[in-house]
A and B are shown apart, each in its own frame.
Chain A
């Protein structure tokens, strides 16, 4: 007994070190998890969370009866799928091309520059977009459409183009980040394979097709599955800030995250907002678990757990 106690005493300083972090995790992450019960209550500020009466699944029933429930699910899923497919193809292609370049200096410059958009906040991104799309002073209306004799487009009130705009902005912002990950993998591939392929007289495209791409396969599958695990979450800033929270665009820009935010902060509809948030957390949780299970099957090392 005393021996065991002594052993724990040895570790006491280590446990003490963890106290601040544990307190933070409990407050920042675990207490809000308990708060998902709000979704099952008829929340009333005066009565508080615990005092508010239970309503069972009412909030969820209301939520799924609305047209928005379908819209936000569709938007969240479809946009994420587009981002994953287009983003991955471009990032892999650019990484392979980078690797084929001979000039070390040029490689470094290109890699450095394409990461620049990743460094700025989505708020600044929305200014960049505004510079191009502003109805009165935007570059596209004033310097492209008008000189060509075409009518100006009121970009912020016409939903037609937003699916494309959002995809472009997302790719623009994240290409460098994704590319660097794939590039690191390509660089790490066994160079002796390339040498023997060259001796065998395999051309460039053959080499890329038979060595580089198979070498990237695990990384691609892993990263894609990880993103698939997060398809129920959206980049709030991209869908709220970049379209400037514009009402006429809401049908193509409303995702689960923006819906929850608007429900809580702008419409004061706590029931619906919390139901949507729980819907997101639960489905998101299931998706992450399934994605991870698949990753484990393909490459144990890359699995989260």
Chain B
């Protein structure tokens, strides 16, 4: 019996290790390729065992700072501003909804909730943002549409408030003469750190990885975030070449095959760096979201 159990454990470990490899191997190919010399790439293709290692792709990225570093910087700005706006809007909206006694609470909850069931679709949305609000080719395009507040996160936060913040605490504060905003900031916020951290991470992930707003609303290449830039580079092989050529007077031969992979590595890197530290919150967010969302 003991032997059998040991065999089973080893078998499961083997399976899990294979699964891990399945998850990680594509990244390995990406990273290795980005460090492979252009000549080796052209000769042997993308490979796990490069015949010649080189940092040329990354060097080229630094030289061609105009588009890629700008995209990187833009992604950071958009992610930070967007996530902050989202969390403020979500907090301000979820807190009143968590108050059982608020008149009209049902109506407002339904208003949030209905957006998860029905939507107008891309055509009117696109026409409104471009025609009425004129956000085409502005920084707003990357921040405002679709991502700045989501029903999902509002409901998640409201549920957290109703289950984790005792009404007696709020009542006591009110008797002490605290206003609603003060109560939100001084009582509710400190008690809600886990959910706030979770939502910040999930929303931040959405902003960093977003390329749809860029695809829909931006065609000015000074406003390409790193994901939009990646999209353009893959769809249009010539994009990077012409862009680099014009900015460098066509003197340098770009390692085009490897540079693609290097930019993709850069696009995924920040998430990989923060993930190990915040893994707990990601997992928590997914679990709460699935069960209560």
Contact indicator per residue, chain A 85-121, by CB within 8 Å of chain B (1) or not (0) = 0000000001001101110001001111111110111
The CA-CA distance from A45 to B29 in the complex, in Å, is: 47
Q: Is the CB of A277 within 8 A of B117?
A: no
Q: Is the CB of B184 within 8 A of A17?
A: yes
Q: How far is the CB of B195 from chain A (nearest CB, A)?
A: 16
- Closest residue of A by beta carbon distance from B293: A304
Q: Is the CB of A100 within 8 A of B46?
A: no
Is B146 part of the binding interface, using a Cβ–Cβ cutoff of 8 Å?
yes
Is A5 part of the binding interface, using a Cβ–Cβ cutoff of 8 Å?
no
Q: Is the CB of A121 within 8 A of B118?
A: no
- Closest residue of A by beta carbon distance from B109: A305
Q: Is the CB of B267 within 8 A of A124?
A: yes
The CA-CA distance from A22 to B107 in the complex, in Å, is: 12
Q: Is the CB of A137 within 8 A of B93?
A: no
Is A274 part of the binding interface, using a Cβ–Cβ cutoff of 8 Å?
yes
Known: A13-B179, A36-B124, A277-B122. A137 touches B283 (CB 8 A): no
Q: Is the CB of B272 within 8 A of A36?
A: no
* A window 256-291: CB within 8 A of B: 257, 260-261, 264-265, 270, 273-274, 277-278, 280-281, 284-285, 288-289
- Closest residue of B by beta carbon distance from A100: B12
Known: A131-B33, A131-B46. A25 touches B267 (CB 8 A): no
- Chain B residues within CB distance 8 Å of chain A: 5, 8-9, 12-13, 15-16, 19-20, 22-24, 26-27, 29-30, 33, 41-42, 44-48, 88-90, 92-93, 95-97, 99, 102-103, 108, 111-113, 115-128, 133, 144-146, 148-149, 154, 179-181, 184, 205, 208-212, 216, 227, 230-231, 234-235, 257, 260-261, 264, 267-268, 271-272, 275-276, 279, 282-283, 286-287, 290-291
Is A71 part of the binding interface, using a Cβ–Cβ cutoff of 8 Å?
no
How many chain A residues touch B (CB < 8 A): the figure is: 96
- Chain A residues within CB distance 8 Å of chain B: 7-8, 11, 13-15, 17-18, 20-22, 24-25, 27-36, 38-39, 49, 94, 97-98, 100-102, 106, 109-117, 119-124, 126-132, 134, 136-139, 141-143, 172, 175-177, 180-181, 184, 204, 223, 236-237, 241, 244-245, 257, 260-261, 264-265, 270, 273-274, 277-278, 280-281, 284-285, 288-289, 302, 304-305
Known: A18-B93, A128-B26, A128-B30. A281 touches B120 (CB 8 A): yes
Known: A21-B89, A101-B12. A281 touches B29 (CB 8 A): no
The CA-CA distance from A124 to B88 in the complex, in Å, is: 29
Q: Which of B45, B117, B149 meets A24, CB within 8 Å?
A: B149
Residues of chain A within 8 A of B279, CB atoms compared: 112, 115
- Closest residue of A by beta carbon distance from B232: A123
Q: Which of A22, A106, A129, A305 meets B111, CB within 8 Å?
A: A22
Which 5 pairs of residues, A with B, have the shortest CB-CB distance? A35-B124, A142-B45, A32-B120, A277-B121, A21-B93
Residues of chain B within 8 A of A110, CB atoms compared: 16, 19-20
Q: Which of B112, B122, B181, B261 meets A261, CB within 8 Å?
A: B122
Specify which of B15, B45, B209 lies most central, judged by the most chain A CB atoms within 10 Å of its CB: B45
Residues of chain B within 8 A of A257, CB atoms compared: 122
Q: Which of A7, A35, A121, A241 meets B267, CB within 8 Å?
A: A121
Residues of chain B within 8 A of A18, CB atoms compared: 92-93, 96-97, 108
Q: Which of A39, A123, A280 meets B211, CB within 8 Å?
A: A123
Q: Is the CB of A131 within 8 A of B261?
A: yes
Residues of chain A within 8 A of B283, CB atoms compared: 111, 115, 180
Known: A14-B99, A139-B29, A143-B47. A273 touches B148 (CB 8 A): no
Residues of chain A within 8 A of B146, CB atoms compared: 28
Specify which of B15, B234, B276 lies most central, judged by the most chain A CB atoms within 10 Å of its CB: B234
Q: Is the CB of B121 within 8 A of A278?
A: yes
Specify which of A8, A184, A278 lies most central, judged by the most chain B CB atoms within 10 Å of its CB: A184
Residues of chain A within 8 A of B276, CB atoms compared: 112
Q: Which of B230, B235, B260, B275 meets A116, CB within 8 Å?
A: B275
Known: A20-B89, A24-B148, A114-B19. A126 touches B121 (CB 8 A): no
The CA-CA distance from A101 to B234 in the complex, in Å, is: 41
Could you jot down 10 A-B contacts, CB within 8 Å? Answer: A21-B92, A24-B149, A25-B111, A28-B144, A123-B209, A123-B264, A128-B29, A131-B30, A274-B123, A281-B119
